[in-house]
Structure 1
């Protein structure tokens, strides 16, 4: 069996998750990407959503909400860098749906500020991650 991946998820504020993984699945601007040990080097842009980290036991997994950012893979090290990242177990679908509805209402009312767009991206990420973690 190949050595596990070394994974770090880092937000602008803190190291959100670090550890070994059997695989990582993330959504990039070009579609879903799956990373296994031995994967060739890659650097890709992430879209808001839930990054899935499959633990070495192959049965348990961690889901992390990210509002975009980058995924970097090199020599069995996976780095996920995002301005916002939060563990899915800290989120609820109902709260995320409310946040998303609030952000969309602001956009529909004509508020196209960067703050409102960021709110939309984070709410989208929270909802996708919370749903994936169910």
Structure 2
């Protein structure tokens, strides 16, 4: 059995995930990074995207906003503005948010509004990607 490491995913509102895992794959500021038990301690900034949590029994896609990851010998701490488990994603709401962000990008003229719209678009796309990944994984297990 592969060694496991504790993962805690925290937002300002709640603890989204707290369990032992085999591997975490996340988008750091300089590219994707995989963390397993025994990884060198580190701290890195995270970008908006979908983290993959591999527990051994399942792979869980978790859309996150920007934040930080701290890796210690016994634990990974992920601290982000937003994160949600696939079962919590409202796909229709994410689609509407994506459309709204795309419309704003076409219409907005200020840099601040453009940056906000781009971030909203990336968050919506991450949610949809995680929901689709989860749906695909569920259909494979039913076959």
TM-score band, normalised by the shorter chain? 0.7 to 0.9
Aligned-pair RMSD on alpha carbons? 2.1
Shift of 1:128: 2.7
Q: Secondary structure at the match of 1:27?
A: strand
The corresponding residue for 1:5 is: 5
TM-score by length of 2: 0.80
Distance in 2 separating the partners of 1:83 and 1:46 = 11
CA distance in 2 between partners of 1:49 and 1:33 (Å):
12
In structure 2, the residue matched to 1:89 is: 87
Match of 1:129 in 2: 130
Choose 1 or 2 for highest CA Rg.
2
In structure 2, what is the equivalent of residue 67 of structure 1? 65
Question: Do the aligned partners of 2:2 and 2:22 also contact (CA within 8 Å) in 1?
Answer: no
- Corresponding residue number in structure 1 for 2:138: none
Aligned residues: 132
Match of 1:86, SS?
coil
Q: Which has the higher contact order (CA 8 A, sep 6+)?
A: 1
Give the aligned partner of residue 46 of structure 1: 46
User: Is the helix fraction higher in 1 or 2?
Assistant: 2
Gaps of 5+ in 1: none
**Counterparts of 1:2 and 1:82, CA distance in 2:** 27
TM-score using structure 1 length: 0.84
Q: Would you identify which runs of 4 or more consecutive aligned residues in structure 1 move more than 6 Å?
A: none
In 2, the alpha carbon distance for the partners of 1:29 and 1:16 equals 22
